[in-house]
Structure 1
Amino acid sequence: MTLDRSIFLFAGVMVLLSVALTLWVSPYFVWFTVFIGANLIQSSFTGFCPAAMIFKALGIKAGCAFQ
């Protein structure tokens, strides 16, 4: 699995987790969903993604988006 696919998988899991937490634990977890969305937007403009840096450090090979 490449870094790009790992990031997409991680973002999707985090969004689904935050929605589940919002529904079943507290409505304030919607802010977690907002944070994830804002991070995705800023990384599309700047190319800076903290999760990509962590995954790279774990040895996942780069794809074409995060080099």
Structure 2
Amino acid sequence: MVLLANVLHKTFVTGLVVITGFSGFYIVTGTAEILERRKKRKEEENLIYQEFLREEERKKSLALIESPKQ
């Protein structure tokens, strides 16, 4: 277990992602920079989606306020 933790730590620091599975041991190469860019892009997409949801809620609220009372 300590060896696995050491391997994971070293691969994280060097920017490699280690994936273990039933069929064996795979190393998927990728840099920490790429992973960081993906994380930032996902955060930006989330912010855009949240803004979209707020705008839709605002439109619904305005439609309810402006609709003629029955």
Q: Looking at CA atoms only, which structure, 1 or 2, has the larger radius of gyration?
A: 2
Query: Relative to total residues, which structure has the larger strand share, 1 or 2?
Result: 2
**Higher fraction of helix:** 1
Q: What range is the shorter-chain TM-score in?
A: 0.3 to 0.5
- TM-score normalised to the size of structure 2? 0.33
Higher relative contact order (CA 8 A, sep 6+): 1
Q: TM-score, normalised by structure 1?
A: 0.35
